[in-house]
Amino acid sequence: MTSAWILAVCALGALSANAAPVLDPAVMDQALRESASSWKRNQTPLSRLTRQEALRMFSPEAPPQIEITITEKWAQKGPFLGPFKNAFAEASLDWRIHQGRNWVTPIREQGECSSCTAMAAAATLETQGMIAGGVPENASYLSAQSLFSCGGGRCHSGWHTSRAADFVEQYGIPDEACLPYTSGATGMDVSCSSTCSNRSERSLRPTRVRRPTQGVRNVDAVKAALKDGPLLSTMYVYPDFLSYGGGVYRHVIGEGLGAHAVSIIGYSDADRAWIIKNSWGEAWGEAGFARVAWDDISGVGSDTWGFELAQSQGALSFQSLRQGEILSGDVEFKVESRGVVGAVQLVVRDSLNSRVLEKTFNTSTVRLDTQALRDGVYEVSLTAKSASGVTIDSSPVSISVLNRAPRGSLRFRPLNFSPTGALGRLLFEVFLDSSPIPWSSVEFTVEKNGKRVASKTVHSTAPEMLMGWDSSLVDPGTYEVRMSATMDSQAHPLRVEAALLRIQIKK
């Protein structure tokens, strides 16, 4: 197994208007019928990509030659498996429903950046953190952007999965609020210097990274490792996988495109398949997840990394508070705890990291009157003590307080092209003004003759941003570019639109 194989390049490109897709849907449907495959084809955000576009998403290496070992000796005690703690495997395991609870964070969309390795590594460690803390259903993300930017990943070239695992082992990954993900919308790299100043102390760091498999796909070993948590893995992507819409995937048709990174979150003996968490959004696959056959030539599970974390003495988690949520008036948070003795303290910090409010409570909910705070951006966290006196802290969550009507404006302009004759990757300078809190999102759309041909939404905004669009993926003609900004407040919603820009695309 060469290191080139585990270089995952996996951006989602913009959709072409009229170019033929990498695989004709009718041809794919016929191939699925002839192969008697159990999976179905759907139109997905990737299924309309041309082969040229799709090849930009992945490392152009040849697929690996992988041995497949499936001993299936789970009816009796199996051989010694080194670091694995479990000698038996059940008929299935799915960390989304393990012990009746969900230990997997929601699906993310990497967008126009080859950040799949960082997305998959962060997803794997997110679940491992919940397992170690014993508190599931915590929707708090880790910062894939910080991992990607500080570890050496680049949007145009991806990142070696082995190097990502090494970086996670050495430095860990901070919470999402430390550096929110923006590269997916812009297609641009973000400097590591943009991350929070206390990144190290906010990072979740594994005690060890283990390698259940290294270039030889051993189903038994991966099953055993999954009992302790999800695994970061690589796979080789074929064109039919872009149109996967559900069922047990097994490659049917199309020449290989290149390498990709995913998180394996479970398995099914009945399906003889792995359950993977992808980073292509919920409109792909089974709401963003997939089942891939053990013996599929894509090689899922042939290279795996597991993150070990010490079992914590306790854990605290917000169960009803989203990152970046806008709060008004009197609000209530649901809190889950494990190993906590005595009261829990809610801590609110301002943008200078100064404590501006503290509240102590003894129940599973805490109420906060946001009128006690000035409108603005804050971080909230929970802290308590364990039976042995160890301090237990939750991951901080960034919120905005908004109790009066906001105001704001949006404008954008071409950066590297002339609207009368544009070609290639076009960059737009975006200028956002808002008070008293930032915009929740910015939406970018491109239309031709009233039909939308490209769109993207960024949910982490800044006063000055770059938005990118690859115009080489569309036919020549006149296109209309629109942008809008939204403030997602139930009490004080606001949406503004920038002036429309017409662009003449030439070849």
Residue 347 has what pLDDT? 96
pTM of the model: 0.84
CATH number of the structural domain spanning residue 384 = 2.60.40.10
Q: Which of 132-146, 340-354, 440-454 has the lowest mean pLDDT?
A: 132-146
- Domains in the chain, number: 3
Query: C-alpha angle 466/468/472, rounded to 5°?
Result: 160
The average confidence (pLDDT) of the chain is: 88
Same domain, residue pair 247 and 162: yes
Give the mean pLDDT of 292-308: 96
Q: Which of 85-94, 227-236, 406-415, 458-467 has the lowest mean pLDDT?
A: 85-94
Please, which residues have CB within 8 angstroms of residue 133's CB and are 6 or more apart in sequence?
A: 312, 314, 315, 317, 338
Tell me the CA end-to-end span of the chain in Å, nearest whole number.
Answer: 41
Residue 367 has what pLDDT? 93
Same domain, residue pair 262 and 363: no
d(CA 387, CA 340): 7
Same domain, residue pair 322 and 284: no
Whether the predicted pLDDT of 506 surpasses 50:
yes
> Among 308, 337, 369, where does a domain finish?
308
Whether the predicted pLDDT of 87 surpasses 90:
no
Residue 67 has what pLDDT? 61
Whether the predicted pLDDT of 85 surpasses 50:
no
**What's the distance, CA 304 to chain centroid?**
18
Rg (CA), the chain: 24
**pLDDT grade for 78, boundaries at 50, 70 and 90:** very low
Same domain, residue pair 349 and 411: no
Please, which residues have CB within 8 angstroms of residue 55's CB and are 6 or more apart in sequence?
A: 257, 258
What are the pLDDT digits (tens) for 357-378?
A: 999 999 899 999 999 999 999 9
Same domain, residue pair 128 and 231: yes
β-sheet bridge partners, residue 104: none
Note down the domain range covering 375: 315-401
Query: Is residue 396 a contact partner of residue 346, using CB atoms and an 8 Å limit?
Result: no
Same domain, residue pair 384 and 442: no
What are the pLDDT digits (tens) for 311-349?
A: 888 889 888 888 889 999 999 989 988 899 999 999 999
**Maximal C-alpha separation, the chain:** 72
Residue 493 has what pLDDT? 96
Residue 411 has what pLDDT? 97
C-alpha dihedral over 17, 22, 28, 29, to 10 degrees? -10
* Residue 244 CB coordination number (10 Å): 23
Query: Is residue 157 a contact partner of residue 114, using CB atoms and an 8 Å limit?
Result: yes
**Length reported for the chain:** 507
Please, which residues have CB within 8 angstroms of residue 48's CB and are 6 or more apart in sequence?
A: 15, 16, 21
Same domain, residue pair 176 and 160: yes
Whether the predicted pLDDT of 4 surpasses 60:
no
Same domain, residue pair 373 and 431: no
> Among 401, 422, 441, where does a domain finish?
401
> Among 277, 308, 339, where does a domain finish?
308
Same domain, residue pair 213 and 351: no
What are the pLDDT digits (tens) for 244-271?
A: 999 999 999 999 899 999 999 999 999 9
d(CA 339, CA 279): 33
CATH number of the structural domain spanning residue 420 = 2.60.40.1930
Give the mean pLDDT of 73-94: 50
Q: State the number of CA atoms in the 13 A half-sphere of 80 facing the CB.
A: 2
